[in-house]
Amino acid sequence: MKRPGSATRTPLLAPASGAGVDDRLGQVSDRVAYLSRVARTLSGALHTGRAVDLVLDLLTGAVADWAQVTLVEPRGYLVRARHDGGPTVEDRLSAGEVASASSLVRVLSTGVSDLVPLPSGGDPDDPDDPALRAAVPSAVVRADLAAVRPVDLLTIALTARGTTYGALSVARRGDSGYDESAVAFLEDVAHGVSVTIDTTRALADSRRVATVLSRDLAPPTLPALAGVRLASYYQVAVERDALGGDFYDVHGDDEDWTAVMGDVCGKGVEAAVLTGKVRQSVRTAALVDRDPAAVLGLANRVLIADGADTFVTAVCVRGRRDGSGLHLEVATAGHPAPIVVRGDGSVEQLDVSGTVLGLLPDTRYASARVRLLPGETCLLYTDGVPEAPGRRSRFGDDRLHEVLRATGACDVRAQVEGVAVAVSTHLRDRAHDDIALLALQATGR
């Protein structure tokens, strides 16, 4: 293995002893400028891998002949390293592959910097040298470090928010060594590095949480049920948010099923988590009793018991096949009453109402009943539809009825699309609330 040429040494780590006052002042100035460059360079890093690569760029050549960043992972360690002028090497190690007596483990467990001299030994290019193996557990990284031996290896803990989550290792060729001033300077560098990498790791954790929430709390895929055709539309208030406060769900079997739609007072992840709780409460209640009034009553008690500091509007529908049509039972909790589109194109709004969920502990709900013949539709919607702002006025219930009369008794997907297009045209680019539509159409046998 060919040994790379030594980098031109900057005065950043030069020993202070024996230097003149001007040289020492110049070194202090250079170190301050370097720390400032580290902060500026790392300030825009949003991804952990990118931040680590920038750290290696900053260290190799300027203050070290070789550098390594080690990050603790749930099942071991991630290691990235580079020698001056060489490529980045990466390896993952299980916890069992790292000896408890190694320099790395000592630093991670104590948080105290550790300096290990690595002489060239019998074969300076032997990556399996015992002294080298004890200091650098990764075989891949050992081969990279062997290229610059003999070195003095300094390992510094990366600590943020009271936790040591990794380590920074730097090696200088030959007999350069590190005096106390150099160690203190590199510990200052490591402190700035640790804050940036910790921030990127926290961002990655947040992204993972958001992904899980988006998958588990996003509007579900509608099931296929005999005798009914379903269609939906969903648009959050802020496009960059994957989750909103409006929700809907349909579950059950061909003979007896439940549909629910609701609107949580609030936005973002907090509202989405509460929608998940309400959806789960409804699913649990429906296993015992699909009566919509009983379902909403249980959901109300759950919110009150949990001490939720917000309220939820909801509409719950129980559907059962009735000959060639559908028999629906409907209960609402502060939510807009559903609209029925009849076979002749006429439109009627159900006469049903109730108190919002999470407000009063002893609220009782009542159900209304309606029968749908084949081709007739029951439309559930959130208040984001009638309250959609326009140039002069809100969309309103009257305009919603007009759109439904214009579409008439057509396929349920066309009815939902007609309402969605009308609302979007009315809104244009104006800010709006979350919007949700769920339509239930009887199809006959």
Domain ranges of the chain: 11-211, 219-442
CATH of the domain spanning 219-442: 3.60.40.10
Residue 5's pLDDT is 38
Residue 239's pLDDT is 53
55, two tokens: 């750290």
Strand order across the beta sheet in which 163-173 lies: 89-94, 76-83, 66-73, 163-173, 151-160, 114-118
Lowest-confidence pick of 121-135, 218-232, 247-261, 324-338: 121-135
Specify the pTM.
Answer: 0.61
Task: Name the band, by pLDDT with cuts 50, 70 and 90, for residue 17.
Answer: low
Task: Give 33's Cβ-side CA count (13 Å radius).
Answer: 10
Does position 178 have pLDDT exceeding 80, yes or no? yes
106-136: b (≥16 Cβ within 10 Å) or e: bbbeeeebbebebeeeeebebbebeebbebb
Task: Name the band, by pLDDT with cuts 50, 70 and 90, for residue 221.
Answer: confident
φ/ψ (deg, to 5) at 8: -65, 125
Span 315-343, average pLDDT: 94
62-95: b (≥16 Cβ within 10 Å) or e: bbbbbbbbbbbeeeebbbbbbbbeeeebebebee
Span 161-172, average pLDDT: 91
Q: Does domain 11-211 have CATH number 3.40.50.11540?
A: no
Residue 10's pLDDT is 45
Lowest-confidence pick of 6-20, 208-222, 255-269, 351-365: 6-20
Contact between 246 and 262 under an 8 Å Cβ cutoff? The reply is yes
Beta strands in 269-375 (DSSP E): 312-322, 325-333, 339-341, 347-349, 368-372
